[in-house]
Amino acid sequence: MRLLPVLLALTGLAAAHSAHAAEPPLALSFGDFFVQPAGPRGLEPTARLLAARGREVRLVGFMVQREQAQPGRFLLTPRPVSMAEHADGEADDLPAATVTVLLPPGQRDRVVAHQAGPLALSGRLEYGPAEDETGRVSWLRLHLAPDALATAPQSH
């Protein structure tokens, strides 16, 4: 596995990705995801979230600090969060609006080091249940562009 240093300019991902898009990314906030307050049927997606499915979006959030980063992905939330997978197991405190950020297929072996502070990311938004190889089900995924990390420095 390759480790991308903390110096990785994740905020530059938005510019690198949107340069190839036909139109500017749709700016979304985590508050745009679900109808508030939650009703008797639980969380319901907003019309804005449903309209953004499959589109290029720009989202500002915080990378979840994990005990062990996973190759090819990281989690983005509306507020800073730390996960203790070994101690807490499946009982994590992730907000419902957690987004799984997926690196392009050619970079799925890369591990992105935790970056403190808000990150502005752009990518194609996917909404709906999907189970990954670990068994975790995500409802929101942001697919980064193939060249999003191409210019980032690498270390082993």
For residues 6 and 114, is the Cβ–Cβ distance under 8 A?
Answer: yes
Q: Provide the pLDDT for residue 124.
A: 96
The structure tokens listed for 105 are 């297929």
What is the model's pLDDT at position 70? 87
Q: What are the C-alpha distances in Å from 56 to residues 23, 26, 76?
A: 8, 6, 16
Per the CB < 8 A criterion, the answer to whether 116 and 7 are in contact is no
Whole-angstrom distance, CA of residue 22 vs CA of residue 150: 20
CB 48 within 8 A of CB 59: no
One digit per residue, the tens of pLDDT, for the chain of length 156 reads: 443 333 233 434 444 444 444 688 999 999 999 999 988 999 999 999 999 999 999 999 999 998 888 899 999 999 999 887 655 555 567 898 999 999 998 888 899 999 999 999 999 999 999 998 888 889 999 999 876 655 443 333
Contact by Cβ (8 Å): 30, 113: no
CA distance 18 to 141: 17
What pLDDT score was predicted for residue 60?
95
In this predicted structure, what is the pLDDT of residue 108? Answer: 86
